[in-house]
Amino acid sequence: MMDLIARATIQIQKPVNEVFEGIVNPDKMTNYFISESSGRMEAGEDLTWKFPEFPDVFPVKVLKAEANRLVSFSWDEETTVNITLEAQPNQSTVVRVTEGGKTFSEANLEWVIGNTEGWGNFLACMKAYLEYGIQLRKGAFDFMRKD
């Protein structure tokens, strides 16, 4: 049986080096994805992320960070997130996110649907921020807060 993999792809109208920096630099990522990070995404780093809509802190293990090509990390024991970057001739960048490794079950089917939606949101928010400086995520998930 095939493992479940969440997938999302978008093209961002910025050069690959700017998109890579937008992913690995917490000063940029906090403008469209997370609210806090304990550091820059570099291979071998153990980071903690906080999201504005959740009180929890999430551990992130950076597996690989290859400049302008790939960022790979895990934040649970079953899956790996790979963010690949493909420079385009027009100075834009195709960004592909995959997260997977879960075996098929009803619960994991819900997981793959939710995470596919989540990564699509991540990419849309990153595109809006990197291209236009707009923070789409601000206030978008306040309804999920349980404080």
Confidence of residue 31 (pLDDT cuts 50, 70, 90): very high
71 within domain boundaries? yes
pLDDT tens digit sequence for 55-67:
899 999 999 999 9
145 within domain boundaries? no
146 within domain boundaries? no
7 pLDDT more than 60: yes
108 pLDDT more than 70: yes
141 within domain boundaries? no
26 within domain boundaries? yes
Q: Specify the CATH number for the domain of residue 89.
A: 3.30.530.20
140 within domain boundaries? no
118 within domain boundaries? yes
31 within domain boundaries? yes
Residue 57, domain extent:
4-134
What per-residue confidence (pLDDT) applies to 116?
Answer: 97
Q: What is the pTM of this model?
A: 0.93
Confidence of residue 142 (pLDDT cuts 50, 70, 90): confident
| Cα diameter, the chain | 47
What per-residue confidence (pLDDT) applies to 52?
Answer: 83
Number of domains in the chain: 1
